[in-house]
Copies of this chain bind each other. A is one copy, B any other.
Amino acid sequence: MKLIGYFRSSAAFRVRIALNLKGIAVEHAFRHLRKGEQRAPDYAAINPQKLVPALVLDTGEVLTQSLAILEYLEETRPEPPLLPNDPVGRARVRSLALIPTADIHPIQNLRVMAYLRQTYGQSEEAAFAWSRHWIETGFEVYEAMVANDRRTGAFSHGDRPTMADLCLVPQIFNAGRFKVDMARYPTLKRIFDNCMKQPAFEAAQPSKQPDAEP
């Protein structure tokens, strides 16, 4: 398998953690998002979405959308599991995973910030405030959902990492670039610290990728 990613992409970061946790070795390829390499015709031909990541299977089939890729990895390489066994717990984990994946990141990613600047003539600073606003809105919800729930453990759900943590951690890295004050989200901070002690998370972080830039 080959993962096409970008060191700073939150979505690619989620998949890198899953691959590490499940011990799946893949070839890594890169598209430099700030240089627009994901819009090149050869990439658009395999992923019409022109976003990363894409997971190219050995059969040549291409999987896109990080959450769909995580579910695929879970179904085909179930150990260690990224979802609990009970349906209600699984629903909780997926609903937490969807906070960064659907309700934060798509609103504040590169293409939306570019649109704000180019179409609405907003300053870099205003686009920055936009991103921070949506991250903070989502983190407040995530914090409310994990802070007083007995199902929360060392991680978002119980005492081992789930899909929720795989989506939360990249969003917290991203939040650092927008100067979000994590002291406001003590449970998220605690979960993040626990995750980053795990080699699978540590090795997947942007600065450790072959395409990383200072």
Contacts and interface: CB of A to CB of B under 8 A. Distances in A.
A66 to B, nearest CB: 9
A29 interface: no
A61 to B, nearest CB: 6
A33 to B, nearest CB: 15
A3 to B, nearest CB: 14
Nearest to A86: B75
Contacts of A145: 48-49
Chain A interface, DSSP helix/strand/loop, else mixed? helix
A119 B120 CA distance: 12
Contact of A102 (B65, B90, B119, B141): B65
Given A103-B106, A107-B106, A115-B133, A75 B87 contact: yes
A63 interface: yes
Interface string A75-100: 11000000000011011101101110
Contacts of A69: 91
Contact of A106 (B102, B120, B122, B126): B102
A67 interface: yes
Nearest to A76: B87
Interface in A32-75: 48-51, 57, 59, 61, 63-65, 67-69, 71-72, 75
16 contacts: A48-B140, A49-B145, A65-B94, A65-B95, A65-B98, A67-B98, A68-B92, A71-B91, A72-B88, A72-B90, A98-B102, A101-B102, A106-B107, A115-B133, A116-B120, A119-B130
Interface of A: 48-51, 57, 59, 61, 63-65, 67-69, 71-72, 75-76, 87-88, 90-92, 94-95, 97-99, 101-103, 106-107, 112, 115-116, 119-120, 122, 126, 130, 133, 140-141, 144-145
